[in-house]
Chain A
């Protein structure tokens, strides 16, 4: 019987370790954001002696300086103006990532279905092309993509970034979903033909509902890829109004004199949307994957 007692223990230890790695930095950022710099940098003081302070959040959202920097002799320059761009950039990123996610599903799911269920000339070639395209280094694409976007007049607009992020995630979406669609039994679609479904109806009424968990997972993947992408976001976003959060965070971190508390506050705010999305979607994705893997 000993294994019964031991196994929960080792399971607990391993999950604790994983949590420490994944959740630790998030918690540190949270901690750093609710105490002022003098507490964060001093070994004697802690949140227990000084209490929680939401001054940094207040500054980022309202522009009111933290009290500790209003006093005589404080370095005002440590309060970077870039931090004020975080809320706006968050909104930009959310719009860009959501649009990239939706476009990925709208374009990727039918493409994957077509690759999985139909034969057409050039199928192997085009599929290989799509699958191998992420191997091209991002740095090599920056200039050509910039020139294309310039031609299209999309520099400095979120639409340029949306297009690039969609294109970046699309190979993965097509690959993952086509594997899923290929695994669906052919008889299911033959039954649909006999039930008077045309190709489009077979896709929308049979394939798509069955693929929902996979679509959720690939959509989330596209969202996260877009949310954390930096290079194209930097090059294609113009002034502050269209900058996504990755660019603003980089600007904030580049400032060597930055207030640590302020930086941590920015980091934690930037993590929140991802956390919300994971909590909302992840359960659904995992449930779907588990029930799908047990043969019905």
Chain B
């Protein structure tokens, strides 16, 4: 239970800058998820917090104290590794107890802490087994248990669920959320899986190229991404992003999608104040914000069906708009014709549009 502060953290490997100038304040008991594509520096940042990587520049504080030079074991944190990193030659109980034993704690105290952690994670009956006798999910629990027994100020998770199958991952997500409620510790969680980020985080920090692109509550990032990177990264299926040019229809602000012959959307009152005529833009719309219908309505955009993926309760349709380059993805619960080339009409509410400058920043 401690806040973590990062001011201007940097890390380079030779000429490659893995982390460039990251400043972030993580509050006490906050669950923060660092998310981004591979190579974005999220794991390096976590390892710098853990003390497994040296900090080239900047200051790291835990509970208000500078810890740049403090030994990893003295920073008051515990880490859950992607591969779990359980000691293969020790039983589960020994794995849990090892860190406490190394810090010179008495046997009785260790025993009671191990029992307590085993109780929290319901792994009491596994204590005598070796890691290789456990299933993936059980190993995951032991790895978390090894962190819990230390009663750390801060928990660090490095893609802890990436080795589990989909079912177990969903189950462990719920478990982790429960643990955070129960333990009331600060948790910093690294993942490349945006579903984990959206469901677990109180605050998501999106990293790209060693920098923070955006941070905030999950829905805030989902609803108001500051740039096309964040817009494209969060949300499944991905947000549709197409080139557009600002124009007017009957004096109303409007957007022309794609090339000169592309369709127009009137945006009227939803137009950003900074929009200028003839400005080159990137327009985004989430797949679930597009209405797809088989019949033409007022302002609907004509398109042709390319492919439909049926997921059961809903379907994902990939449609092509003439003059617009990438195909548009539409998520719909309505019945959809499946034949390729079927003409369909798309309706988009101007309020659901995300308008970005051509350099990717939100307008």
Which A positions have Cβ atoms within 8 angstroms of B?
185, 187-188, 190-197, 201, 205-206, 209-210, 291, 294, 296
Contacts and interface: CB of A to CB of B under 8 A. Distances in A.
Interface in B77-107: 77-79, 81-83, 85-89, 98-99, 102-103
A197 B73 CA distance: 8
A194 B89 contact: no
Contacts of B51: 193
A192 B72 CA distance: 10
Interface in B121-163: 131-132, 146
Nearest to B50: A194
11 contacts: A185-B85, A187-B83, A190-B52, A190-B81, A191-B79, A191-B81, A194-B50, A196-B73, A197-B102, A291-B132, A296-B132
A180 B23 CA distance: 41
B73 A190 contact: no
Nearest to A296: B132
Contacts of B102: 195-197, 201
Given A196-B99, A197-B102, A201-B102, A190 B85 contact: yes
Given A187-B83, A296-B131, A193 B89 contact: no
Contact of A209 (B89, B99, B146): B89
Contacts of A201: 102
Contacts of B98: 195, 205
Interface residues on B, range: 20 to 34
Contact of B89 (A185, A195, A210): A210
Interface string B22-63: 000000000000000000000000000011100000000000
A195 B83 contact: no
Nearest to A193: B72
Given A196-B73, A296-B131, 11 more contacts: A185-B85, A187-B81, A187-B82, A190-B85, A193-B52, A195-B73, A195-B98, A206-B87, A294-B132, A296-B88, A296-B132
A-B pairs, top 3 by smallest CB distance, nearest first, are A195-B99, A296-B132, A196-B73
Nearest to B104: A196
Contacts of B82: 187
B13 to A, nearest CB: 13
Given A187-B82, A187-B83, A296-B132, A194 B88 contact: no
A190 B52 CA distance: 7
B87 A194 contact: no
Nearest to A209: B89
A191 B132 contact: no
Which of A194, A196, A197, A296 has the largest number of chain B CB atoms within 10 A? A194
A214 to B, nearest CB: 13
Nearest to B82: A187
Nearest to A195: B99
Contact of B85 (A188, A205, A291, A294): A188
Nearest to A185: B83
Given A209-B89, A210-B88, A194 B83 contact: no
Contacts of B50: 190, 194
Contacts of B81: 187, 190-191
A188 B131 CA distance: 13
Given A196-B102, A197-B102, A188 B87 contact: yes
Nearest to B84: A187
B132 A194 contact: no
A232 to B, nearest CB: 37
Contacts of A190: 50, 52, 79, 81, 85
Contacts of A185: 83, 85
Contacts of B77: 194
Contacts of A188: 85, 87
A3 B52 CA distance: 54
A50 B288 CA distance: 98
A187 B132 contact: no
Contacts of A296: 88, 131-132
Given A201-B102, A296-B131, A296-B132, A193 B73 contact: yes
A194 B131 contact: no
Contacts of A206: 87
Contacts of B89: 209-210
B103 A194 contact: no
Contacts of A196: 73, 99, 102-103
A72 B131 CA distance: 73
A191 B103 contact: no
A191 B73 contact: no
Nearest to B88: A296
A113 to B, nearest CB: 16
Which of A190, A206, A209 has the largest number of chain B CB atoms within 10 A? A190
A296 B86 CA distance: 10
Nearest to A292: B88
B133 to A, nearest CB: 9
A294 B133 CA distance: 12
Contacts of A291: 132
B200 to A, nearest CB: 22
Contacts of A192: 87
B202 to A, nearest CB: 24
A198 to B, nearest CB: 9
A295 to B, nearest CB: 9
Which of B77, B83, B103 has the largest number of chain A CB atoms within 10 A? B83
A159 B93 CA distance: 45
Given A196-B102, A196-B103, A187 B85 contact: yes
A216 to B, nearest CB: 14
Contacts of B88: 210, 296
A292 to B, nearest CB: 9
Nearest to B130: A296
Which of B50, B99, B131 has the largest number of chain A CB atoms within 10 A? B99
